[in-house]
Amino acid sequence: MSTQPEHAVKTWISGFGVAVPRGATAPDPEALETAAADLTPPLVVKAYGPGLLHKSDAGAVRLDLESARAAADAAAEMAGALGAREITPDGFLVEEQAAAGVEVIVGAVRDPAFGPVLLAGLGGIWTEVLRDTALRLCPITEADARAMLDELRGRALLDGFRGGPPTDLDALVKVLLAVGGPGGIVESLGPRLTEFELNPVICGPAGAIAVDARLLTSDEPPEQLAEEPAARPAEPHTDFDRLFAPRGVAVVGASTKRPGFGNMFLNFYKAAGYQGRLVAVHPTTPEIDGVPCVPSLTGADVDYALVAVPAARCADVVREAAGIPFVQVMSGGFREMGEPALEDDLLAAARAAGVRLLGPNCMGVYSPAGGQTFLGGPQGRPGRIAVISQSGGLAGEVIKVGERRGLAFSKVATVGNSADVTPAELLRHLAADDETAVIGLYLEDPRDGRGLFEALQPLEKPVVALVGGRSGQGRKAAASHTGGMIGDDRVWSALAAQAGITLVTSQDDLIGALDLLDLHASRAAPAGPGVLVIGPSGGASVLAADVFDTAGMELSPLPAPATAALRGLGLGAGSSLANPLEIPVGPKADPELVRLAVTEILAHHPYADVITHVNAQSFFTFGDSAEPLLAYTRAVGALQRQLTATRITLVVRNSECAPPGVEDAVRDLARESGVPVYRNMEAAAVAVTAGKRSAHGTA
């Protein structure tokens, strides 16, 4: 790793349009006075060389020097102090001191998975203590740059605070684009980038000037930095249709003596009613569990082979699979268990056989329309929801719980260690899949994070992602503040912001968001953060307002003409009408009132989302029949059927208080009309947020 001298870095970045102070260098204090003769005080002196990466910490910076002579004297004192610490500078940089302003940090590092990442934040104490920063993956757009500044908690300092003048935000945006935009500094560095940092950039009414610059590269000197970076290797193009709808399946690992995972998968395919050619691989036995056997994968005449043998044997099995398009290795014990050599050998075997490898350490594929399964029992009905998961167990839970709630899946792929087939590849396939409308992701290590970013950006289908390990150890902090403030969690948040996907934090929220996006996929709701909440009176409405406000949504007031119409319905007698709107809901109330009230409101204000909530407990505390609750659900469904540009969401609170079967009946009734159902406001808020971020309703 090479550390470039500050003055060389500043000379180089000025060619990208980044303003830097006027300055000069000198090899020693004696020559510095002459070097500084043409500069206008006040001046700054800095020493540079080995051991001086953090100059301030080393005492290698002096400010407010009133003359060239004072600068030379300061350099001499600095040299003596550094010498006492056995540090010998290569030279000294003297510059004109920039006028005071708001200090901003702009930096970039190369993330191991996602490539170059840009950071911007407020400098000084804001960087050191409060970590008030924002991230984006490079290259950024002007919209990205402005969004980064908007995310800063201290943004008011840039706009002018307590009578202070506003900074030139356009100049700061230009700095961000010069560093992280197309054709900018980061792109020019290419794979040579390790870390780059401007800290601080001083921003004022007249512009933005980088007064310190730090660059760490892999090896190249500054004069070679502008060379064309090496291109990313091209990803193989694979048609994955036969992965999800194989004409034949071979299972390796079934036994006549010690039934194991291979036998389990044979029975899964039988229970699912697989209609293609199903064979087991065994060298001597003619059949296992009623399934015919072939002696090896060689000449097995299938599209998909499932391997469930010990890790040490998997590579040999895969070498026999030439002519089979896809081989899935269920077995674990590879890189995830500290055995990278076994995984490398497995990948080499797949390449030699000319097959695409799914896994290792994964459960396989689920596709009701194509007959694929890795779960017991009959398959669910085909649907429009696809999932890519690095966890087979979690994918199985999403399928089973989701189908229990009424969701239907098109294609689910588990990829485990992703040694060959990556989530990014499958995402590109699903983007063009006519049978898929909504995509869910569960990822831990995407292997090709940059490819994932590039696959997500042009994607027009809504995506919801659950990421494991976001709260664990972040990326290693290297030499800069930037390196210390870029970690797993923040990079994923940056990717979500740029790609327009929704990040969730639980399996239940993943299922809930996929449900809403699927049911409302064809609804062209207006953009914007506005929501209308309507339900029974009491604290629930107040808490609902808190939940949706925290989620970034706006409960805008009801327009005056609408309130007049609502009073005509008998609402608001003796009180104001507001959002959340309180209406009578219960066993004695008119179930049609919710439909009539919302219809009147939407005639005057186009809310994109209406959240209607009920308290199931009240229906059975003050009544003895499920019919009033079902009648209310039918009214909500009728409301959704008459609205083409509004998403209706139903929250049934305290549903455990309903008799057995009632919650299922409510959910089924609502789904018939395209209304998703949730048990609490928090789950609904996550799903509604996903809807607003989707292609039909980006907030």
Domain ranges of the chain: 22-96, 102-219, 249-349, 524-693
| pLDDT of amino acid 485 | 47
The CATH topology of domain 102-219 is D-amino Acid Aminotransferase; Chain A, domain 1 (3.30.470)
| pLDDT of amino acid 548 | 93
CA-angle at 364, arms to 363 and 370, nearest 5°: 145
Query: What is the radius of gyration, based on Cα positions, of the chain?
Result: 31
| pLDDT of amino acid 225 | 46
Q: What would the two tokens of residue 498 be?
A: 């740029």
CB atoms within 10 A of CB 452: 25
- CB-CB contact of 446 with 492 (8 Å): no
Buried residues in 97-132 as b, exposed as e (16+ CB within 10 A): bbeebbbbbbbbbbbebbbbbbbbbbbeebbeeeeb
Would you give the end-to-end CA distance of the chain in angstroms? Answer: 43
Residue with tokens 């995310």: 151
* Amino acid identity at 84: A
The closest of 282, 280, 303 to 290, measured between CA atoms, is 280
- Sequence-distant (6+) residues with CB within 8 A of 580 are 533, 534, 535, 541, 542, 544, 545, 555
| pLDDT of amino acid 137 | 97
| pLDDT of amino acid 126 | 65
Specify the CATH architecture of the domain 249-349.
Answer: 3-Layer(aba) Sandwich (3.40)
Low-confidence ranges of the chain (pLDDT < 70): 1, 124-129, 219-236, 470-488, 574-575, 695-699
Residue with tokens 């056997």: 293
Q: What would the two tokens of residue 403 be?
A: 């189908």
| pLDDT of amino acid 54 | 72
Q: Do 102-219 and 524-693 fold alike per CATH?
A: no
Q: What secondary structure does DSSP assign to 207-220, as a single string?
A: EEEE--EEEEESS-
Cα 184–chain centre separation: 24
The CATH topology of domain 524-693 is Rossmann fold (3.40.50)
Q: What would the two tokens of residue 255 be?
A: 């036994």
pTM above threshold 0.85: yes
| pLDDT of amino acid 547 | 95
Specify the CATH architecture of the domain 22-96.
Answer: 2-Layer Sandwich (3.30)
| pLDDT of amino acid 572 | 82
Tens-place pLDDT, residues 241-277 = 999 999 999 999 999 988 899 999 999 999 999 999 9
Tens-place pLDDT, residues 138-147 = 999 999 999 9
